[in-house]
Amino acid sequence: MLRTRAQFLTRTIARSYATSAGPHALVFLEHRDGVIDAGCLSALSAAKELGGEVTGIVVGGPEQLKEVIPKAQKLEGLSALLHSSSAQYASPIPETISPLLEKILSNLAFTHVVAAHSSSAKSLIPRVAAKLDVPAISDVTSVEHNNAENATTFTRPIYAGNAIATVRAPSSIPIKFFTVRSTAFKAAGTDGPEAKSSEVESVEVTDPPTQHIRTEITKSDRPDLGVASRVVSGGRALKNAETFKATLEPLADVLGAAIGASRAAVDAGYADNSLQVGQTGKVVAPELYMALGISGAIQHLAGMKDSKLIVAINKDADAPIFQVADLGLVADLYDAVPELVQKLKP
């Protein structure tokens, strides 16, 4: 394996001198239980905005791919699809997927590598970029490629979204890696013309240093927090896990909303970690975001302030959440929420 890696590296160096003809992006497509992750659909839209060809890549166990490849081929905007299967890819671990991507990127002339800013891509993309000796740009909210200069300009939020940086990856960066904030790009359609697919031979890692033991997904019948068009979120004021459920669930049900939580509520054990909205949790931008008993700390606002309509219910009229809320109601949420549920019911 060592020998082949040395070979990849020489090729990368050789290729960076070649002139490129327009951008060609490789989009990393993630999937779970046969379904392509919604975040990747936004990453695909961002890749299209570069203005060149877009090739997708999907990796997984042989059985998983049988189901996923036909769906991936029909993603709108894909000009080609690469797929690679191996038992090693069944649970995505950067240590085993990274060598495959290095091989592909060293042999084929891609100018950009695009992925969602998801937990698995956040783990994988910087590792691969470092191996190819290029920087990566995280969580971008806009993309613009200048073909003549072979430079790409991005915007990305920094300081928990309190500032927006405009950065430029110049032509001296031969492959531009970036992850995409899904709420900033429309999801690509899933019913396009069938893209041509071709198989890439897997790169088997002998004796991988990491073993996947298990994955535990929090089951929920509600819409997924990351992509829901409505979110009802609770904070520390919900007192405990029981009142959190009893207060938020009826409202979420009547609105068809996902449930979210502030870090305070998660840390206090009222809600599961996966529901956290904020700088260190999920970033959401739904049509409606209802903040119940959430004061509105900077870290929380970072995760929801791009929502279309923010509604806040809080007892404290001075809570910072009211500075960003379009509709604020100063009230005890234990009175207001049940009344709201009652009166909203058709």
Partner 1 sequence: MRPTASRLLNILVPIKRTIDYAVKIRVNPDQKGVDLNVKHSMAVEEAVRLREKLKDAVKSIKVVTIGPPKSAETLRTALAMGADSGVHVEIPDSAPPPEPLGVAKALRAVIERQKEGVDLVILGKQAIDDDSSQTGQMLAGLLGWPQATFASKLVVDIAKKEASVTREIDGGLEELRCRLPLIVTTDLRLNEPRYASLPNIMKAKKKPIEKITPSDLGVDLTPRVETLKVAEPPKRVGGGKVENVDELIAKLKEAGITAV
Pick between residue 18 and residue 163 the one whose CB is nearest to partner 1: 163
Q: Is 328 in the site for partner 1 (CB under 8 A)?
A: yes
Among 130, 204, 269, 316, binds partner 1 (CB under 8 A): 130
By CB under 8 A, is residue 230 in contact with partner 1? yes
What is the identity of the amino acid at 147? N
Binding site, annotated residues for FAD: 236, 262-263, 276-280, 293-300, 314
Using CB under 8 A as the binding rule, whether residue 66 contacts partner 1 is answered as no
Instruction: Tell me if residue 56 falls in helix, strand or coil.
Output: strand
- Region from 7-15, 44-52, 71-79, 166-174 binding partner 1, contact rule CB under 8 A: 166-174
CA distance 320 to 221: 32
- Sign of the torsion angle spanned by Cα atoms 76, 77, 79, 83: negative
DSSP states of 295-328:
---HHHHTTTTT-SEEEEEES-TT-THHHH-SEE
The whole-angstrom separation of Cα 88 and Cα 143 is 33
In three-state secondary structure terms, 292 is strand
In the complex with partner 1, the residue whose CB is nearer, 77 or 103, is 103
**Minimum CB distance to partner 1, residue 18 (Å):** 19
Binds partner 1 (CB under 8 A): choice among 79, 197, 331, 334: 331
Answer whether 321's CB lies under 8 Å from 312's CB: yes
Residue 331, SS3 per DSSP: coil
How far is 176 from 112, CA to CA, in rounded Å? 5
- What are φ and ψ of residue 328, in 5° steps? -115, 140
Name residues contacting partner 1, limited to 69-128 (CB under 8 A).
Answer: 93-95, 98, 118-120, 122-128
Contact 341, 254 (CB under 8 A): yes
Q: What span, in angstroms and rounded, lies between the C-alpha atoms of 141 and 228? A: 19
The answer to whether residue 7 forms part of the interface with partner 1 (CB under 8 A) is no
Contacting residue, 7, 10, 158, 194, with partner 1 by CB under 8 A: 158
Q: Compute the radius of gyration of the chain from its Cα atoms.
A: 22
Residues 20-59 binding partner 1 (CB under 8 A) are: 32
Is residue 221 involved in binding partner 1 (CB under 8 A)?
no
- Report the residue number, 73 or 86, with the smaller CB distance to partner 1: 86
Is there binding between residue 332 and partner 1 (CB under 8 A)? no
Distance from C-alpha of 294 to C-alpha of 262, rounded to nearest angstrom: 7
CB of 34 to partner 1, least distance (A): 15
Q: Does 136 bind partner 1 (CB under 8 A)?
A: yes
Among 48, 263, 270, 300, binds partner 1 (CB under 8 A): 263
241 binding partner 1? (CB under 8 A): no
Total number of residues binding partner 1 (CB under 8 A)?
92
Q: Is 206 in the site for partner 1 (CB under 8 A)?
A: no
Site for partner 1 in 287-306 (CB under 8 A): 287-288, 298-299, 305
